[in-house]
Copies of this chain bind each other. A is one copy, B any other.
Amino acid sequence: MKQNYIFLVLTMTLISSLTMAQTDSKIIEDFKPSTVNQPGKEFPKVNSQGYARFRIEAPTADSVRVSLGLGGKGGTKLTKSADGAWTGTTGGPMDEGFHYYHINIDGGTFNDPGALNFYGSTRWESGIEIPAHDQDFYALKAVPHGNVQQILFPSKSTNTSRRAFVYTPPGYGKEQSKRYPVLYLQHGWGEDETAWSNQGHANLIMDNLIAEGKIKPFIIVMTYGMTNEIKFGGLRNFDVTAFQTVLVDELIPYIDANFQTIAKQSHRAMGGLSMGGMETKMVTLNKTDVFSQYALLSGGTYSSEDIKDKSKVKLIFLSCGSKERPDGVKNAVVTLKNAGFNAVSYVSEGTGHEFQTWRRSLKELAPLLFKE
């Protein structure tokens, strides 16, 4: 029903003008700056319905478009105002949560000067946040906060020092005898090791869950999945070896040597979103003595035939957005459970292949991990 409504609005917008859509009585004029704008920037704005409004200054440009808003490749076409700025509103409400976008100005691709940038699509893209009904779980609150540490670890196989980010929970380091389990968490294609903290708010999700007593604290390690050399369509030939070597032979020993970890298979999990899920599946099946808990977030499924030694797997978590293929995830979990696995599915309502699905997935996954 909502889909049909959006389609109607979009069609109207295409047939008539964007200005008409803007003055449509259905749009509530309670627009506020997106929460991921650059400091002091008023645009882009979002309203309580999920519409986004843009304003780009380029007085002598011929054409300014925003890559968001109509679903098709056209995006939202802005129109020139009397003051020389280009303005426009999306042709319909957008899904809750975070979206990447960019601006096309006279045939070139640029970022919106009003928005913060996030690494996606193999470039730093503009980001916009559509307020979600459940945004409280990743909000910055007055609770004890963990840290996100940038580490540079030696990698012989790639002959450089590589970067990773390590979330350590509140109070980490105060007692040297205290040891924590570790989740290795991967980004998707086009993204990098900054994604889970920047657009995913993994640290705030953890801080809030810990403050509410819903999870026992653990460490999260996020590094670059080396996915961006992979072109779409080339997945069948994807060789995970280079990444697996960095992760298992270089990063994990460094983490275990330098952080207060429980350096055991039973206390080590791996998860990933989208292509990071594909990597997670490959690495966990190759390295059954390294990880005991597996999570694929919009990143495929396991079948019971994939797993040779059931006793080594403590948890399989599969998730996706309701606008993806939730039946695939749900059916896979039913089959895994029937085969005797501790398997859990989660479907994020009203979201697609985007970060709101993955934020929610992390929130659902965290309490299931590292159960004694």
Asked whether A215 is an interface residue with its Cβ less than 8 Å from the other chain, the reply is: no
Tell me the minimal C-beta distance from A162 to chain B in angstroms: 10
Give chain B residues whose Cβ lies under 8 Å from the Cβ of A233.
Answer: none
Known contacts A123-B113, A173-B173; is A106 also within 8 Å of B147 by CB? no
Q: How far is the CA of A174 from the CA of B260 in the complex (A)?
A: 9
Among B84, B152, B228, which residue has its beta carbon within 8 angstroms of that of A107? B84
Q: Is the CB of B147 within 8 A of A57?
A: no
A105 touches which of B40, B84, B105, B151 (Cβ 8 Å): B105
Residue numbers in B under 8 Å from A108 (CB-CB): 56-59, 61, 105, 113
Residues of B within 8 A of A147 (CB): 149-152, 166
Asked if B145 contacts A148 (CB within 8 A), the reply is no
User: Taking the nearest CB of chain B, how far is it from the CB of A229, in angstroms?
Assistant: 9
Q: Is the beta-carbon distance between B228 and A57 smaller than 8 angstroms?
A: no
Q: In the complex, how many angstroms separate the beta carbon of A200 from the nearest chain B beta carbon?
A: 14
Q: If A147-B149, A161-B145 touch, does A107 touch B40 (CB 8 Å cutoff)?
A: no
Chain A residues 232 to 270 lying within 8 A of chain B, measured CB to CB, are 258
A117 at the interface (CB under 8 A from B): yes
Residues 87-117 of chain A: 1 if any B CB is under 8 Å from the residue's CB, otherwise 0? 0000000000000000101111111010011
Kindly identify which residue among B110, B122, B161 contacts A111, using a CB–CB cutoff of 8 Å: B110
Residue contact B61 to A107, C-beta cutoff 8 Å: yes
Query: Which of chain B's residues have a CB closer than 8 A to the CB of A152?
Result: 140, 145, 147, 207
Contacting pair A107 B60 (CB below 8 A): yes
Instruction: Tell me if A16 is interfacial: C-beta within 8 Å of chain B.
Output: no
The residues of B that contact A111 with a CB separation of less than 8 Å are 110-111, 113
Residues in B with CB closer than 8 Å to A75 are: none
Residues from chain B with a CB closer than 8 A to the CB of A160 are 140
Instruction: Say whether, besides A57-B107, A57-B108, A40 and B140 are in contact (CB < 8 Å).
Output: no
The residue on B at minimum CB distance from A165 is B150
User: What separation, in Å, do the CA atoms of A292 and B123 have in the docked complex?
Assistant: 44
A35 at the B interface (CB under 8 A) = no
User: Residue A137 at the B interface, CB < 8 A?
Assistant: no
| Chain B residue at minimum C-beta to C-beta distance from A116 | B124
Given contacts A39-B122, A39-B228, A149-B150, 20 further A-B pairs with CB under 8 A are A57-B107, A58-B107, A58-B108, A59-B107, A61-B62, A61-B107, A62-B62, A105-B105, A105-B108, A106-B106, A108-B113, A109-B113, A110-B111, A116-B124, A117-B117, A117-B124, A140-B152, A147-B166, A149-B149, A174-B258
> Could you give 27 example pairs across A and B, Cβ below 8 Å?
A38-B123, A38-B124, A40-B122, A40-B228, A57-B107, A57-B108, A57-B109, A58-B106, A58-B108, A61-B106, A61-B108, A84-B107, A105-B106, A105-B108, A110-B110, A111-B111, A111-B113, A117-B117, A142-B154, A145-B151, A145-B152, A145-B161, A147-B149, A147-B152, A148-B150, A149-B149, A150-B203
